[in-house]
């Protein structure tokens, strides 16, 4: 990046992954932070002024320079989505965040993984077994892409509750390991969480 910027005589560079934005001035062959902001907010951060037409040409004082940092790990969203979230639909599946087994960021559909409910909240019996298999085939091995390993047990529990509500999950674990529902029951039993499937819960959690 620095080499290309130097070739193009660019004195400010920026990079973003859709969740954060980092910009820096090229100074003496290195980088001095201009701003680092999280894009996961309703109101634009004031620091974005330093990239505006009025701020980009100004040198930011070294004392105010913003360094690159890691954002907090995404958290798993459980329970019903808020009205604002329910209005946002996934561009591919055309469903709200509540229809996915894992939601990294309710405002970023790209972080929604494993659709298992239909748009009306009922269980998607076609996609549910695919979601279960996608987790179990790599569980305790290579983690499912973009889903933190620590979140997997809660995702499995969420899928199991959906399977139970559809009458697909065996009530006694371990089940038949050749069947994705039986393997799911057996896995949750090994984790000591199988009993949680049958705990009374709000219907929206399914």
Domain range annotation of the chain: 2-64, 83-205
What's the pLDDT at 19?
Answer: 77
What's the pLDDT at 206?
Answer: 38
Q: Which of 27, 198, 12, 41 is nearest to 106 (CA)?
A: 41
What's the pLDDT at 184?
Answer: 92
DSSP string across 36-104: EEES-SSSPPGGGGGGSTTTTTSPPPGGG-----PPPPPPPP-SPPPHHHHT---TTT---GGGEEEES
Q: Which of 111, 128, 93 is nearest to 39 (CA)?
A: 111
CA 47 to chain centre: 25
Q: How do the pLDDT tens digits run along the chain, 206 residues long?
A: 556 666 677 778 888 877 788 888 876 556 777 888 888 777 788 888 888 888 888 887 765 656 655 555 455 455 544 444 446 999 999 999 989 999 888 888 988 999 999 988 899 999 999 999 988 876 544 445 668 888 888 899 999 999 999 999 988 866 667 788 999 998 898 888 888 887 754 444 43
């Amino acid at each position: 990046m620095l080499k290309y910027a130097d070739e193009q005589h660019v004195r400010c560079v920026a990079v973003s992954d859709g969740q954060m934005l980092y910009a820096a001035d090229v100074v003496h062959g290195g980088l001095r932070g201009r701003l680092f902001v999280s894009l996961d907010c309703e109101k634009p951060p004031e620091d974005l002024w330093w990239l505006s037409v009025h701020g980009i040409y100004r040198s930011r004082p070294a004392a105010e320079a913003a360094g690159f940092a890691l954002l907090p790990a995404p958290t798993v969203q459980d329970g019903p989505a808020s009205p604002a979230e329910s209005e946002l639909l996934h561009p591919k599946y055309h469903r709200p965040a509540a229809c996915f087994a894992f939601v990294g960021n309710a405002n970023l559909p790209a972080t929604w993984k494993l659709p298992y409910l239909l748009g009306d909240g009922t269980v998607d019996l076609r996609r549910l077994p695919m979601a279960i298999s996608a987790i179990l085939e790599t569980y305790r091995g290579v983690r499912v892409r973009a889903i933190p390993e620590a979140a997997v047990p809660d995702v499995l529990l969420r899928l199991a509750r959906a399977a139970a509500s559809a009458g697909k999950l065996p009530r006694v674990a371990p089940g038949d390991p050749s069947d994705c529902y039986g393997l799911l029951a057996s896995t949750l039993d090994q984790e000591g969480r199988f009993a949680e499937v049958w705990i009374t819960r709000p219907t929206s959690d399914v």
